[in-house]
Amino acid sequence: MRDQYTLRAFRSIAEHGSFTRAAATLDVTPSALSQAMRQLENELGTRLLQRTTRRVGLTEAGQEMLQRIAPALDELELAMDAIRQHGDRPRGTLHVTVPAVVAQTVIQPMLAEFMARWPDVRLDIRVEDGLTDLVAEGLDAGIRLGERLQRDMVAVPISGPMRAVVVGAPSYFKRHGYPKDPKDLQRHHCIKHRLASSGAIYRWEFAHRHGAHKGRWYEIAVDGNLTVNDVPLALRAAEDGIGLACVLDISARAALDAGRLESVLEPWLPPFDGMYLYYPSRFQVPPKLRVFVDFLREWGAREANIKQRHTQR
């Protein structure tokens, strides 16, 4: 069967009654149009056009052809217009994977505002702490710490530097004292965290403060009677005085501000790369993802300004 162009050309000739006028509309030469119609008639095995010196008319077969293809061509044009609108305005479903800490501290607070601003964008958010293959899982984007990004990904920073904190309840420190150095953790009850990505127990990370290794990170395998794979559970256990927890600052901020937790060993915990939104490098950014990225960066900057003003009071 002939391609879409040939069928559109046939309809244009039928509507204009002229090869010359139809050719001008389609921006082709009359001879090219005439050749295309001869090929179409040869393929169908019947004449579609009645050619006279003054006008081009339709045969009976041509009239039936026009009646049958016109609605299909109109529907095709409507479909193409709808698809073009996808390219011009944000709409459709955006599939995103985020870790639990981002879901709790970023996605939850900004969700209502984003969806009110972009009502045609649907969000499908998967909360999972392990690394996810975006392409294999059919996802548009993910949010992770910069150091945990997959290869061949475009990474867009959506937060400033972040830092970990070692926290405990005032009641715990009253009973066991404050660690003065990371090595002191060997004598403390620590809440261990099982990594979702590997199942291994997370080794707490600290940076050397002095000497030739200053600034370089090292790990400590802590011990305790409680192991979890959920940050809110670890924080609740720390608030209840069970032991010390090592979490991201943003996760513990509310409890720290309220005095339910205290932070220790801060000089050994410098900032590191923050959160990035990432997507495959071969992926053309659709409007629905572009507005999501822009909104996250705008929201992050606004929250940072609020936090800075709060700190300066």
**Nearest to 17, CA basis, from 65, 69, 55, 61:** 55
Domains 92-161+273-312 and 164-268 fall in the same CATH topology:
yes
For the question of whether the overall pTM of this predicted structure is more than 0.75, the answer is no
Residues written for the chain? 313
pLDDT band for position 59 (cuts 50, 70, 90): very high
Distance CA 75, CA 130 (A): 45
Q: Which residue has the tokens 């006279």?
A: 52
Q: Which residue has the tokens 């710490």?
A: 145
Give residue limits of the domains in the chain: 4-88, 92-161+273-312, 164-268
Question: What are 72-125's pLDDT values in tens digits?
Answer: 888 887 777 666 656 668 889 999 999 988 898 889 999 999 999 999 999 999
Distance CA 288, CA 269 (A): 37
Question: What are 10-50's pLDDT values in tens digits?
Answer: 998 998 888 888 888 788 888 999 999 999 999 999 999 99
CATH class of the region 4-88:
mainly alpha
164-268 domain in CATH 3.10.450.50? no
pLDDT of residue 209: 77
Architecture category of domain 92-161+273-312 in CATH: 3-Layer(aba) Sandwich (3.40)
Are 182 and 270 a contacting pair, CB within 8 Å?
A: no
Of the candidate ranges 83-92, 163-172, 237-246, 291-300, the one whose mean pLDDT is the lowest: 83-92
